[in-house]
Each structure stands twice: as C-alpha cells, then as structure tokens.
Amino acid sequence: MATAVTPVPPGDVTQRVGVEVIRARGVDVEKLIKMLIANAAAEFASTYYYYTILRMHLAGYEDYKEIAEDARLEDRAHWELIVPRIYELGGELPNDLPEFHNQAGCVAAKLPNPPTVVNILTILLESERCAIRSWIAVCDMTFGKDPRTYDLASRILNEEIEHEAWFIELLAHERDGKSIPSGHFRRGEPGEAPYSKNNRFYNP
C-alpha cells in the first residue's frame, strides 16, 4: 500500500514524521488530539478527582472502598499514560484547569444526593460506561493507522471494561440482592493498573 508521506526536511523541528505517517494513513490528527484531551480530562477531572470524594463516602463498606480505590488510582494511571501522547501529536493541555475540566468527555462523577451506597455505586458504574465508550472511539479511529495511540487506548479500555464489571457486581448485590460476578481477582496492590502500567497480570 503506497502511502504518501510529506517529506520532513532534515533538521526540521516544526514537523513530526511521527505525525505525518499517521496523517498519511487517514487519521484526522486534530480531531484525535481533541478526543485525547477530552478523555484525559474525563480521567483526571470527571473520575479520579470525584472518585476520591465518592470513596470517602463509602464509610462502613470497606470492601467497596477498596474497589473504588483501584478504579480511582487506575484512572489516574490512565491520565498519566495518555498525556504524553497528546504532546507527541503536537497538542497541549489547556493552561487553565477549569477550561480543561469543561472539555471532559464524561460528566463529573459528583457525590449524589443523598449519598447512599446504591447512589454512589450507580454513579461509579455509569462513569465507567462513559469511559468505555470514549476509549473505544479512540480505538476505532486509530485501528490499523496509529498503532501507538491504539495500543495506549486499548490498554486503558481493558481496565475500563474491568471497572464496569466490578461496579455491576457491587450494584447488583447491593441494590437487587443479585449475584453477577465480575470475575475480579484482587490487584496486587491498590491501583496496580496491570494494562496501563504494564504490570504483570494476577498469576500467583
């Protein structure tokens, strides 16, 4: 397959071969940067920040707190994983935190009123679902064209899918008295993030 790559002159620091090659394969780089900023904002502002608050209000449910902690710290790992890619693509984070927050691709996981355990688990579940939709959109856009972004997004997607399963299990148990196993094995340590930190999988 012949793909026309704009030649980047030797020593030119205003263009990036790493960007031109994915553009030549059909990636709308400007749109991708916007999506990555929206997803980074969702990881950092809509989930990591607000999950901190949600977790504080799960007092008495120490097992649920532990799961919320894994989801919280893994979303922080997702933020850390994807931010470098935004810059590599020639993008940048807004130099204003409220502006960044307002670009998030998912609604803020604010403490529900009343902050019952069922209401908190419902917020957590729907946040994970938004994350899955957002990351698979990046996978779709980059598949077969931008292997680096695809790899990062699919690592994150792996963990978001696990997070959804965890909160389905907890909400079904807590709200409906139903057993819907998530297939969850304990992480080695809180926030292990086996895919996005490239740690080894649970395998004692």
Under the rule (CB under 5 A), what is the footprint of Zn ion?
43, 75, 78, 131
Nearer to Fe ion, 27 or 152 (CB): 152
Is 76 a binding residue for Fe ion by CB under 5 A? The answer is no
Nearer to Fe ion, 20 or 80 (CB): 80
Q: Could you tell me the smallest distance in angstroms from the CB atom of residue 198 to Fe ion?
A: 17
Q: Could you tell me the smallest distance in angstroms from the CB atom of residue 42 to Zn ion?
A: 8
163 binds, among Zn ion, Fe ion, none (CB under 5 to 8 A by kind): Fe ion
Residue 111's closest CA among 58, 72, 159? 58
Nearer to Fe ion, 95 or 198 (CB): 198
Chain Cα centroid distance, residue 98: 19
The angle that helices 147-176 and 117-142 make with each other, rounded to 10 degrees, is 160
Residue 38, SS3? helix
Is 72 a binding residue for Fe ion by CB under 5 A? The answer is no
Give the residue, chosen from 44, 163, 169, 170, that forms a contact with Fe ion under the rule CB under 5 A. 163
Stretch of 53-61, 73-81, 103-111, 133-141 contacting Fe ion, by CB under 5 A: 73-81
Would you say 22 and 4 are in contact if contact means Cβ atoms under 8 Å apart?
Answer: no
Is 187 a binding residue for Fe ion by CB under 5 A? The answer is no
What does the alpha-carbon distance between residue 163 and residue 199 come to, in Å, rounded to a whole number? 17
78 binds, among Fe ion, Zn ion, none (CB under 5 to 8 A by kind): Zn ion
Q: Could you tell me the smallest distance in angstroms from the CB atom of residue 60 to Fe ion?
A: 23
What does the alpha-carbon distance between residue 177 and residue 190 come to, in Å, rounded to a whole number? 27
Q: Could you tell me the smallest distance in angstroms from the CB atom of residue 172 to Zn ion?
A: 21
Q: Contacts by 23-30 with C-beta closer than 8 Å and gap 24+? A: 25/144, 25/145, 25/146, 26/145, 27/141, 27/142, 27/145, 27/146, 28/141, 29/89, 29/90
Q: Could you tell me the smallest distance in angstroms from the CB atom of residue 64 to Zn ion?
A: 18
Contacts with Fe ion by CB under 5 A lie at: 75, 128, 131, 160, 163
